[in-house]
Structures are given as C-alpha cells and as structure tokens.
Homo-oligomer: A and B are copies of this chain.
Amino acid sequence: MRKDAVQNRERLLQAARQLFADGGLDVPLEEIARTAGVSIGTLYNRFPTRDALVEAVFADRVATVADLAERALAMDDAWDGFVAFLTGVCELQAADLGYNDLAARTAPVDGDRGYGLMLKILDRAQRSGELRPDVTLADMAFVLWGVAATIRATHEVVPGAWRRHLALTLDGLRTATAHPLPAPPMFTEQTRAALRKC
C-alpha cells in the first residue's frame, strides 16, 4: 500500500473513532471523510462498507475486553471479579457512544477468546456461591443491553446514572435474592439471531 494511502486510512480511522465516540455509530460517512480531510470516494476505497469501518475502528476492543476478563479472573474474590468485569465493559460503553451502540448489537456469545474467559468468570462466581446458579452467559446480554439503553438516554444529562442501573441489576444476580425465573435462558443461537435483528 502506498504511503499516502496508509496515511489517509489512518486519518479516516481517527476521524471515525472520534465521531463514533461522540455521536454513535450512525454518523454520516461524508462527515467522517470531511473530518479526515479526505474525499468520500477515498473513504469508500479504504472501507467498502460501513461495517468494515466500524470493525476497523473497534478492532482493539476485543482485546481490551479479553484483558478485562483476564484481570477479573486474577482477582481474589470471584464475585468481585464478576462485578469488575461487567463494570469495565460498561465503562467502555459509557466512554464511547459508538461502542455503546455496538454493545447493544453484540452479545457475550461470540466465538472469540473473550467467550471462554467470560464463561470462566461466570462459572467461578457461581461456584463461589455469590452469583445465582440459574443465570447463564446469555443473560449477560440483558445486563449490557439494559445499561446501553440507560447510557444512551442519560449520558449527557446524568453521566453516572448507569452505575446505579448496573448496581441494581447486579443485586438481582446475587444468590441471596434469587427467585425462580419465569423463562428459560436463551440459546446461543437465539441470542445471535436476536442481534441480527439490530
């Protein structure tokens, strides 16, 4: 790749990173190109679809989440680790509206490195007795989707409101309060299908 092409690609990524973070995933592509000081045609050259651009912008997040997961597993207390992990992911969401949108269309059911780690976090917390035994990884989607909705509504007005939402949600995941659940957990395939609808 020619060096000017590399530079333009980098500028586009930088502009997209900024605009996604501030305005969510639906920012007009023209605006991204303009901010990058590049024509819309160049944007299409480098990233044939919006998804390609989104993927490139948030590529590092996969590793970030995996790191969060590993750090959570390294914590002494299983429940604390579980809480730290979810809090960390939500902090990523709160810090970047684009990633928040992405999280609302993603679930902890992917096949990547994070998946296995998350299972471990969950399993360890359940074995410790603090996390209720009847929740599954698929239920974490409820947590993230819910907090994503709160972040989207409140980020400008009450920046920290989501922490309260998350805290309430976490209390619902503790064994101490557990009451029988009215519906079975979602199958992985169902969760995946649900996301395809967004």
Contact = CB atoms under 8 A, between A and B. Distances in A.
Interface of A: 104, 132, 135, 139, 141-142, 145-150, 152-154, 156-158, 160-161, 163-165, 167-174, 176-179, 181-186, 190, 193-195, 197-198
A14 B155 CA distance: 36
Nearest to A176: B177
A150 B193 CA distance: 13
Contacts of A167: 179, 181-183
Kindly report how many copies of this chain are found in the complex they form together: 2
28 contacts: A135-B168, A141-B153, A145-B149, A146-B147, A146-B169, A149-B149, A153-B194, A153-B197, A154-B194, A156-B194, A156-B197, A158-B190, A160-B182, A160-B183, A161-B183, A164-B184, A167-B179, A167-B181, A167-B182, A167-B183, A168-B169, A169-B172, A170-B172, A170-B179, A171-B171, A171-B177, A174-B177, A176-B177
